[in-house]
Amino acid sequence: MTRPAGWQPSGAVRALAVIIWATLSACASPPARAPGAASPGAAPRSAASPVDRPPNIVFIIADDLGYGDIGPFGQRTIRTPQLDRMAREGTRFTQFYAGSPVCAPSRSTLMTGQHTGHTPIRSNPSQVTPAKRLARGIDWPIADSVRTLAEMLRERGYAVGGYGKWGLGSAGSEGDPLRQGFDRFFGFLSHVDAHRHYPEFLYDDGRKRSLPGNENGGHAIYANDVIVDEAVKFIGQNRERPFFLYVPLTVPHAEIQAPRDAFAPYLDASGQSVFSEKPYAGAGNYGAQSMPHAAYAAMVSRTDAYVGRILDELRAAGVEGRTLVFFTSDNGPSVEGGSDPRHFASSGPLRGVKRDLYEGGIRVPMIAWGPGQVPAGRVSDHVWALWDVMPTLAELTGARSPAGIDGISVAPAVTGQGVAKEHDFLYWEFHEQGGKQAVRRGDWKAVRLNVVANPAAVAELYDLAADPAERQNVADANPELVRELMAVMAREHTPSDVFPALDGARAGGSNAPPPARRP
Ligand SMILES: [Ca+2]
């Protein structure tokens, strides 16, 4: 955060990064595709391209895992030895952000490279206008016309597999992952289905696959166990070609349920929880849990074990030297369904939880791992967000990133080679709880609340460098800065006919027409 806004790496820095990348890449085994056989839609590349042999990409995203939930980010109670190891062997990013404080829009920013002022899925399904929800099914689909991260990498010649929760379109809709760039998808398609960890079925390439023993409330097969079984198979099946493995796990999202063996570290000799417990009775989509603290810890440790399984499989397949692995979360920790983020300090030192635009709702862990490619044991405070993943992976793989998106490539922050670009600003909007907007510029963070009822709402202002917990609202002392950041909010929100909640809530209540929609 020390360089002026708008700073760009020089051509010499970029060229150096290219040479270093080419040297690293040359050590890896080539993919099966014939040399020089460009895939449809791939960017034209020179003979000196750094990514003639593009790395495999594994992107693991936990669900509702807070900034402070895992060891590398300060957790002291819940055990996460695999993520501890991943961080020791890779780079930990302390200022990485989700796209949104809830699931669907966060995933939309990842898949489109656009922030929530532009991305097609702006909010969870409950916020779609009722008439349209009836017409199109529960989860509003990403349109065919949208080019997704999965499509970008498939165009580059990657095998593309998704294992976990999709949430951006139901089976057969235009948002079906099989119509959005995935060769294979196994798991949950809708958000609400994914609230259950012992479902009666999962989708296997668009068809329902029964999970025997889960009928009538049975707890025979834990969904994420079988999801990771399938994900691991994908690695072995595609070891001879570049692959993109997307693993959107549905843990530790409520309901708070874990397999019996996952509880072991958190039970005493008599089988009782080692934590204080207040049983959760269950409500709505969420099942009951007699030991919610132990169960939550078990879910986070199970998440950790899944990461370990994937890293082990990469080694067993002999591809760890040409694979980049990312681990993050889609939003902050939840207070719903029996979750109790205060017990484990799940937001770490940050203010807020899921559905907040304070840091605890949107700042999430991020670890990048790639032996010989990503520096080991490094900690980076580079500021980036889920919508930067698409252009970053484009640079790392030689794929063609869409024009006009909000994301920027931070590839040098991942490889440790060169200096990564910095954002002029980051923007978030949230359509529930009265409507919220936030902007981060440098270390300044502005948050507007209740913007639907009060289009004139003035932003709160925090100095994250001096006050990372956002305790001191310094808006009154910095009126000009507040005006500037509210102008960013007014500019970055573009209207949406599907998710219109904020369309009348432009900062300052201006009735001026919005700027032209970006492509
Ligand atoms: Ca989530």
pLDDT digits (tens, 9 = 90+) for 360-374: 999 999 999 999 999
224 pLDDT higher than 50: yes
What percentage of the chain carries pLDDT values higher than 70?
86
| 506 CA → ligand 1 middle, Å | 26
Expressed in angstroms and rounded, the spacing between residue 354 Cα and the centre of ligand 1 is 8
CB atoms within 10 A of CB 193: 22
pLDDT beyond 50 at 108: yes
pLDDT tens readout for residues 120-143: 999 987 777 776 666 666 789 999
Q: What is the pLDDT of residue 192?
A: 87
- With vertex at residue 223, the alpha carbon angle to CA 218 and CA 224, rounded to the nearest 5 degrees, is 145
The alpha carbon of 464 and the centre of ligand 1 are apart by a number of angstroms equal to: 24
Q: Is the pLDDT of residue 167 over 90?
A: yes
Higher pLDDT, 26 or 74: 74
Binned at pLDDT 50, 70 and 90, residue 242 comes out as: very high
CA 201 vs. chain centroid, Å, equals 25
What integer pLDDT is reported at residue 8 of this predicted model? 41
User: In the structure encoding, which two tokens stand for residue 188, read together?
Assistant: 């949950």
| Displacement of CA 214 from its chain's centroid (Å) | 29
Question: Is residue 171 scored above 70 in pLDDT?
Answer: yes
Q: Give the Å distance between the CA of 317 and the centre of ligand 1.
A: 31
Distance 63 CA to ligand 1 centre (A): 4
Residue linked to tokens 């909000």: 406
pLDDT of residue 18: 42
Residue with tokens 């089988």: 271
Quickly tell me which residue has 């809709």 as its tokens.
173
* Residue 2 pLDDT > 60: no
- Nearest Cα to 60, choosing from 256, 305, 272? 305
The Cα-based distances of 117 to 154, 323, 441, 495 in angstroms read 26, 32, 16, 8
The residue-averaged pLDDT of 155-166 equals: 98
With H, G, I as helix, E, B as strand and everything else as coil, classify residue 8: coil
DSSP at 39: P
Average pLDDT over residues 487-503: 94
In this model, does residue 75 exceed pLDDT 80?
yes
Task: Give residue 253 CA to ligand 1 midpoint distance, Å.
Answer: 7
Report, at the CATH architecture level, how domain 55-415 is classified: 3-Layer(aba) Sandwich (3.40)
Q: Give distance in angstroms: CA of 107 to centre of ligand 1.
A: 9
Please tell me the least confidently modeled range out of 123-127, 319-323, 334-338, 489-493.
Answer: 123-127
What pLDDT score does 162 carry?
A: 98
pLDDT tens per residue across span 37-67: 333 333 333 333 445 789 999 999 999 999 9
Q: pLDDT value at position 506?
A: 64
Integer-rounded Cα Rg, in Å, for the chain is: 22
Peptide bond before 4: cis, by omega within 30 degrees of 0? no
Per-residue pLDDT, 134:
60
Higher pLDDT, 237 or 36: 237
How many A from CA of 104 to the centre of ligand 1?
8
Task: Answer yes or no: is pLDDT of 388 > 90.
Answer: yes
The CA 103 to ligand 1 mean position distance, Å, reads 4
The more confidently predicted of residues 191 and 397 is: 397
Domain boundaries, the chain: 55-415, 426-509
Please state at what angle helix 389-397 crosses helix 103-112, rounded to 10 degrees. 30
Ligand 1 centre from 330 Cα, in Å? 5
Q: Which residues contact 6 (CB under 8 A, 6 or more apart)?
A: 424
Task: Determine the Cα–Cα distance for residues 416 and 17; give it in Å rounded to an integer.
Answer: 9
Is 406 a residue whose pLDDT tops 80?
A: yes
Distances (CA, A) of 323 to 32, 55, 315, 412: 15, 5, 10, 16
Contact 140, 498 (CB under 8 A): yes
Shortest CA distance to 87 belongs to which of 376, 356, 301? 376
The answer, yes or no, to whether residue 396 has pLDDT greater than 90, is: yes
Q: Could you give the angle at the alpha carbon of 247 between the alpha carbons of 244 and 253, nearest 5°?
A: 160
pLDDT in the model for residue 46:
37
Provide mean pLDDT across the span 275-296: 95
Report which secondary-structure segment, H or E, holds 378: strand 378-380
Query: How far is ligand 1, taken at its centre, from the CA of residue 64, in Å?
Result: 4
pLDDT at 306 over 90: yes
Q: Which residue has the higher pLDDT, 140 or 405?
A: 405
Q: Name the band, by pLDDT with cuts 50, 70 and 90, for residue 29.
A: very low
In the chain, % of residues over pLDDT 90: 81
- Tell me, in angstroms, the distance from the centre of ligand 1 to residue 251's CA: 9
In the predicted structure, residue 359 carries a pLDDT above the cut 50: yes
Q: Of the CATH numbers 2.60.40.150, 3.90.226.10, 3.30.1120.10, 2.30.130.60, which one belongs to the domain with range 426-509?
A: 3.30.1120.10
Mean pLDDT of the chain: 89
pLDDT at 285: 79
